[in-house]
Structure 1
Amino acid sequence: MKAFDIKSGQGVIVLGVPHSGTYLPPDIYANLLPQARTLADTDWHADRLYADLLPDVTLVRANFHRYVIDANRDPGGSRLYEGANTTDLVPKTDFDGNAIWSEAPGHTDIESRLVSWHHPYHAALAGELGRVHQKHGLAVLVDCHSIRSRIPFLFEGVLPDVNLGTNLGTSCDERIAATAVNACRNGGDYTFVRDGRFRGGWTTRHYGRPGKGVHAIQIELAQSNYLESECAPFEYDSAKAERLRSHLRGILRAIEDATTEMGQSHE
């Protein structure tokens, strides 16, 4: 199994999809505890949700499951959210705080998974961002995520429908962030928040360098808005999903338009 798939476009936006993959090598899958084998923490169908929303968008998708190694965590192992429950580079627990492994992976296992899975995905993502930046003079990474709307171990209450993450305004130009917020505000009755519980993972923080013309924003979606149910088998609800896709298309178009204007202002 290849670590990633790429669909290259000619536009300014690169979509990263790090958590929709479900592949686990047989030896890793065999080490999962029975409950973990439901893979409940997957960003179910996120790649399908974003597919073909805009012409000429680039998409880089990780094919491996986040239990193999989390493509949205620091390869150095630093924690993502200090003072809050979170999961690690190779998670020890699931989102509900339950153990995942019969035998927890050791340092050698983690290093091997970095080389085989994490590094190739990010090499592909960095390569596409570089290509787009060279073509346009700037690039925008939209890191695409989804999660169950109720997870007491991670957050209180019900998650807003759309969660924009800009790492407190440091990962992208404010014009891009404000445009995304306005698109959420004007795009219907979906609830939203900027830099709430999820303000951008390692990917957003690592690649977002607005001063160098690379902007990054994370979109975390509540799965209640496009799944039939937030429990196994996590089936895609086409009617709900098409309504959400229309909203996402509006957000991406707004980001694309804002970025085009930024590029023209520097010509």
Structure 2
Amino acid sequence: MTNGFELHQGRLPLLVSMPHPGTQLTPEIARALTARAQRLEDTDWHIPLLYQPIRELGASVLSARYSRYVVDLNRPADDKPLYSTATTGLFPGTFFDGEPLFEAGKAPDDTTKATILHNIWQPYHQALAQELARLRDTFGYVLLWDAHSIKSVVPRLFEGKLPDLNFGTADGASCAPELSRALLDCCDAFSHYSKVLNGRFKGGYITRHYGAPQQNIHAVQLEVAQCCYMDEMSFAFSEEKSEHFRALLSALINTALAWCDQNLSR
């Protein structure tokens, strides 16, 4: 089993976590998936590419290599549900639309799940915690930005079309409310993108577990509607769409870093 993540250590008090762009499969999972599931359609497509300018700016970036169909790194190890509405768990058994991922009788057994938890889930979270600690020790504070994307229309998960920008702060528990307001205010200059704070997506395990404003760790999840930067049918990255969206993304990150510098510096 190969290393389940890539960690790039940057020079800013910023860690961008990417738990869902991976497309690798373990042999056991690959053999068990349905033909439809082999397309990995629920991937957070192209997130590392979309955030490449943020990495070049100096951010630390932690990016998963394995598919969420192997294990969902944004769920707790005990698989306690994070939402009362429809969702998927630590070891997903269905697509977002509720159809089975695995051929009948071929879903991973408990032994396989335990191996995956030990070899993929735990190392990712160890790396995340260690990088957060390094950055906070260096700067006195750190911004954790949990980067996600999803199809803009998924009837089982939400009604209608999802807003373009879905900020999650665990209902205000994972970062200072003033930081949330600064991010929303930043979006006003990009009014063609719709936005919401703590709507359908309030932040998953990573945001909720690691966000600790009282310890100068401020965590924000951004769930982006994939129509903002790619073709949702073919999964193809769109340079034209992404050019416009990256301008907003850079503005958001710079706004967050400026707020942290002004309010959290030693």
Q: Answer yes or no: is the 8 Å Cα contact 1:20–1:47 preserved in 2.
A: yes
Q: Answer yes or no: is the 8 Å Cα contact 1:188–1:247 preserved in 2.
A: no
1:224 is the counterpart of 2:227 = yes
Aligned to 2:75: 73
1:124 to 123, 127, 145: 127
Aligned to 1:38: 39
Distance 1:132 1:160 in 2: 32
Aligned to 1:189: 192
Unpaired runs of 5+ residues, structure 1, are none
* 1:92-241 mapped onto 2 (5 Å cutoff): 92-102=93-103, 103-227=106-230, 229-231=231-233, 233-241=234-242
Aligned to 2:92: 91
TM-score (norm 2): 0.96
Q: Answer yes or no: is the 8 Å Cα contact 1:32–1:100 preserved in 2.
A: yes
1:80 shift after superposition: 1.5
Tell me the amino acid that sits aligned with residue 250 of structure 2. R
Secondary structure (helix, strand or coil) at the match of 1:126 reads helix
1:16 is the counterpart of 2:49 = no
**Alignment RMSD (CA, Å):** 1.0
Secondary structure (helix, strand or coil) at the match of 1:244 reads helix
Distance 1:245 1:67 in 2: 28
Secondary structure (helix, strand or coil) at the match of 1:172 reads coil
Secondary structure (helix, strand or coil) at the match of 2:63 reads strand
Q: Answer yes or no: is the 8 Å Cα contact 2:229–2:237 preserved in 1.
A: yes
Secondary structure (helix, strand or coil) at the match of 2:57 reads coil
Distance 1:246 1:188 in 2: 13
1:109 shift after superposition: 1.7
Secondary structure (helix, strand or coil) at the match of 1:34 reads coil
1:185 shift after superposition: 2.3
Tell me the amino acid that sits aligned with residue 229 of structure 2. Y
1:187 shift after superposition: 2.7
Distance 1:185 1:73 in 2: 32
**Count of equivalent residues:** 262
1:26 shift after superposition: 2.4
Unpaired runs of 5+ residues, structure 2, are none
Distance 2:142 2:192 in 1: 29
